[in-house]
Amino acid sequence: MTDEQVRKKRRGQIQAILLMLVVALPMLAAYVIYHTGWGMPTGTVNKGALLEPARHLPDIQPRLADDSAWDISAEKKRWRYVIPGFSTCDEQCMKNLYLTRQVHIRLNDKADRVERIYLLQDETLSPELSAHIEQEHPLLRVMRVQASSLDTLLEDTNLSGDAVAAGRYFLMDQDGFLMMAYSPQHTGGELLKDVKKMLKTSYEE
């Protein structure tokens, strides 16, 4: 191989590397911004409270309506709103169900990428709540966990305590990690902004 051929080969390799960097760097930057918020103006990273550290909901073994174990790995990847509650749903619980439903509706064509879960911490739903869910929230999925297991899961996080008493509900990522929490002070618009950002920076297999 002549010197000229060597130089041409080297130039081609450098050009290929530069091309790869042009493609990869924006993706890397988006990943860093998404996971750290670095480089974004204060106040625009997220509206909900970031749960630190994130907690894996499948660790407390939610059960489905037929009492089978929930296997998230066997399901389509989705973002999920998780609304904890009991066999009866108090006023704040009802507000959380309503707000998350309205936000879900406002996602329009992206709604299929998100699911809503009522995390029941009793044995069964009351007949009144069951009828209400059937009529007003037909797409709401009910899962059951052992009493206080959610609060135990949230121990040693920045949002420990009684989640239901605090009126909290959560945004869960596609792998089952509770990553963001919302309180009665948060609006539907704030939840909508957060979930739209997550949908924009993620994809389903």
The verdict on 191 and 102 lying in the same domain is yes
pLDDT (average), residues 145-159: 94
The verdict on 64 and 27 lying in the same domain is no
Beta carbons of 169 and 101 less than 8 angstroms apart:
no
The verdict on 41 and 67 lying in the same domain is no
What is the distance between the alpha carbons of residues 136 and 68, in angstroms, rounded to a whole number?
25
pTM above threshold 0.85 = no
Residue 185 φ then ψ, to 5°:
-80, -15
State the CATH number of the domain containing residue 83.
3.40.30.10
pLDDT tens by residue, 44-71: 468 899 999 999 999 999 999 899 999 9
Asked if residue 7 is part of any domain, the answer here is yes
* Paired tokens of 177: 């990690």
The verdict on 181 and 137 lying in the same domain is yes
Mean pLDDT of the chain: 87
With 90 as the cut, is the pLDDT of residue 149 above it? yes
With 80 as the cut, is the pLDDT of residue 1 above it? no
Residue with tokens 């989640």: 163
Of the candidates 170, 60, 189, 174, which has an alpha carbon nearest to the alpha carbon of residue 117?
Answer: 170
Number of domains in the chain: 2
Residue 202's pLDDT band (boundaries 50, 70, 90)? confident
The verdict on 85 and 131 lying in the same domain is yes
Beta carbons of 56 and 170 less than 8 angstroms apart:
no
What is the distance between the alpha carbons of residues 171 and 40, in angstroms, rounded to a whole number?
21
The verdict on 36 and 53 lying in the same domain is no
Q: Residue 3 belongs to what domain range?
A: 1-45
The verdict on 118 and 105 lying in the same domain is yes
